[in-house]
Chains A and B, each alone.
Chain A
């Protein structure tokens, strides 16, 4: 089974801090994704990447950036954390759309 590992399960950060959320997958997948999940809003795509050093904006990229220097690692960066970025963040990877995604366990971020 593909393993997608998110570095932290819970994080508490202060407003204005630069925050890094890390995601690593072990199956050589080209495609990686970052979502945020909020009550009543479902999953919203922030950014995705289909190759090393490639990135595409999703539906809600404002306030975020990403980095993909190696195929297995996809980092989400909050340049200056704000309280409205308090959320559950989910990373996913995929090889082929017909097989769906593999998700990490999520990082619950609180910005205070």
Chain B
């Protein structure tokens, strides 16, 4: 079956530090890949996505590249801010899926300190 594995948190950083959150996946075919962000007390928001190999998704200074050869979609940001403190979820959508179900990773909590 499909699965997403992401690094466990919490990840604690100082402001302006470099952030990487690792995500690897198992899926048949050619899934679409997503990063969602959840700020405290809120629902999930789509942060970025990539629909095919070597695509790079980017938004709000975050980037992730779809690497089919390593089945990975690692999230990066060059200089984090306190406002980036949140939980980040990696997810995949199989190319063919009954009911369009996403498979989520367990989430990684990121805490950015001033």
Binding site for B on A (CB under 8 A): 4, 6, 31, 33, 41-43, 45, 48, 50, 56, 90, 92, 94, 96-106
Contact = CB atoms under 8 A, between A and B. Distances in A.
A76 to B, nearest CB: 14
Interface stretch (B14-22, B62-70, B92-100): B92-100
B32 interface: yes
A50 B100 CA distance: 8
B44 A56 contact: no
Given A31-B100, A97-B102, A103 B43 contact: yes
B45 A103 contact: yes
Place the interface of chain B in its size category: 20 to 34
Contacts of B77: none
Interface of B: 32, 34, 36, 41-46, 49, 51, 89, 91, 93-95, 97-102, 104-107
Given A42-B104, A90-B43, A100-B93, A48 B99 contact: yes
Contact of B44 (A6, A94, A98, A103): A103
Contacts of B94: 97
Contacts of B41: 106
Q: Give the most central of A33, A50, A97: most B CB within 10 Å.
A: A97
Most buried by B among A6, A48, A92, A99: A99
Nearest to A4: B43
A53 B107 CA distance: 32
Q: Which of B32, B91, B100 has the most CB of A within 10 A?
A: B100
Contacts of A33: 101
Contact of A102 (B46, B97, B105): B46
A87 B44 CA distance: 15
30 contacts: A31-B99, A31-B100, A41-B106, A42-B89, A42-B104, A42-B105, A43-B89, A43-B104, A48-B99, A56-B98, A56-B99, A90-B43, A94-B100, A96-B100, A97-B93, A97-B97, A97-B100, A98-B32, A98-B51, A100-B36, A100-B46, A100-B91, A101-B44, A101-B46, A101-B102, A103-B43, A103-B44, A103-B45, A105-B42, A106-B42
